[in-house]
A and B are shown apart, each in its own frame.
Chain A
Amino acid sequence: MTDQKIRVLIAKPGLDGHDRGAKVIARALRDDGMEVIYTGLRQTPEMIAEAALQEDVNVVGLSILSGAHNALVPQVIKKLHENGQDNVIVFLGGIIPEDDISALVHQGVTKVYGPGTDTREVCKDIREAVITRVEG
C-alpha cells in the first residue's frame, strides 16, 4: 500500500520573533491533511536547507516579517539547489512590498502571500503546485 503525503517545512529565517502567522499556516496545512515540519524561529538559510534535505519535503514555506526577504530568500533557494533539491517548491508569506514580488518570483518563489490571506487559498495552491511538479 502506497501512502504519499505532501510534506511541508515551515520555517522562519532571520531575526524577527513573530511566529503567529507561521503557526496559523502550519495548523491550516495540517487540517488540510499535510505533514508539516515546524522548525521554529531564527533559522539561517543553511539550517532551513539542511532540514529540508533531511525531511525530504515537497514544499518549503518561509515566513518573514523583518524586511530582510530580498537577502534571505535567494540564499535559501541557492542552498536548496546546492543540496540537489531543485524540485522543492518555495512559498513566502509575511510583510512583502508589492514591488519586491516579481523579483522574488523570478528567483524561484512560486507565490507570495500577504496579511489577511485565506488559508484555504494557500492549501489549494500548494496541492496544485505539488501535482504540477510531480507530473511535469
Chain B
Amino acid sequence: MIYLDCAATAMQKPPVVASRMAWAANHLASPGRGGHRPAMLAGEIAFQCRQTAAELFHVESPEQVVFTFNATHGLNIAIKTLVKPGMTVLISGYEHNAVTRPLNAIPGVHLKVAASPLFCPNLFLEDFERKCTDEVSVAVCTHVSNVFGYILPIREVADVCRRRGIPLIVDASQSAGCLPVHMDELDAAFVAMPGHKGLYGPQGTGLLLCGENAQPLLYGGTGSASRQQNMPEFLPDRLEAGTHNVPGIAGLLEGMRFVRSRGVDRILAHERALIKQLTAGLSDVPGVQIYADAGMHCQSGVCSLCCERMGCEELGEELGRRGIAVRAGLHCAPLAHQTAGTLLEGTVRVSVSAFNTKVEIKHFLGQLRTVLATRG
C-alpha cells in the first residue's frame, strides 16, 4: 500500500509511538487520580506531553495546553466559548465542517466569509481586512486548507484581528508539525490541532492551545477541587473532565518528539519536494487539472486534482484497487470547494508526510497514467 492520505491521518508513524502506547496501556493509570506509582507516572507523561507542545508551539505555560479527542473537539470548545447567539463571525472561505457546523449550530450566527481564489494570499488578506468590520465579534481561520494545501497568511490575519481587538480561533489541523505555529506571535484566543496528522500521534488525540480561559464542553471529575460542584476555574482541568486517553497521550508525546528532532522546516521541505514532483509529473498528462501553487510558496504537503475523463470518486476507487490510498470527494470542506469552484465534482486529494518517498510518488504517477490511459 502506498499511503497518500496523510491529511486525514498520518498512518505511518515513528515505531516508538506504537511501542510507547502499548507500554502506557499496561503500566500507566489515570493522571491525578491517585498517589500511587502508575497514576503519578501517567501524570508525568501527560506533563511531558504538555511541556513538549508548549515548547513546540511557543505557549507560555503547559497549563494552557489542553488535551482533546481531536481538532474538532478543540474547535467546538473554542467556538462555543466565544460565539454567542446572534453574533457575526468572520471566517475564511477554506474552512472545514469542524468550524462551519459548530457555528451553524449556534442560533442566529451571521457568517461573513473572506474568500479569494486559491493561492492568492494577498487577495485573501485584502478581503479579510475589508470584511473585518465593527459588527464582527470573532474570527476563525484555518492555517492550511485541508483540501488544497493552501497556506493562508495566518500571521497577517492575526495582526488584523489584534489591531481590531477581535479574538481569533486558528484551525491548525493541517499545519501543526509541518509549519511554524507560534502561539505567542499569533496572540490567538485558541489554536486547535489534531494529534494524528502532522504530530504523528494516534487517532483520538488532539490539543487545544488556550490564550484565554474557556467554557467546558464536558463536565465531570478532574481529580482536583472535588468538593466543588462547578468545574475548576483553572486550566487544563477546566476543560479535561473524565479519564484521559493516556496511551494516546504517550504516543502523541513520541510523535511530537519526532517532529522536534526531524525539524518542522525539514518536514515541510520534504513534503513540498514530493508535491513538486507530483505536479511536475502531471503537467503533461492531458485532461488532468492539478490545484497547486506553482511557486510552492503557499503550498503544503497536500494537493488536489481532478480528471476530465473520470469522476473523482471513481478515480479514488480505482487507485485504491491498485494499492494507492488517496481521498476523493469533498473532504468535509464544502465551503473550500465552493470557494475554489470544485464543489460540483469534488477532487482527488493527495497528501504526504515525512514518511513518503519520491519512489512512492513516481509509482503513483505511473498508476495514474495507466488508469487514465484505459479511459482513452
A binds B: no
Query: Which residues of B pack against A, CB within 8 Å?
Result: none
A-side interface residues toward B, CB under 8 Å?
none
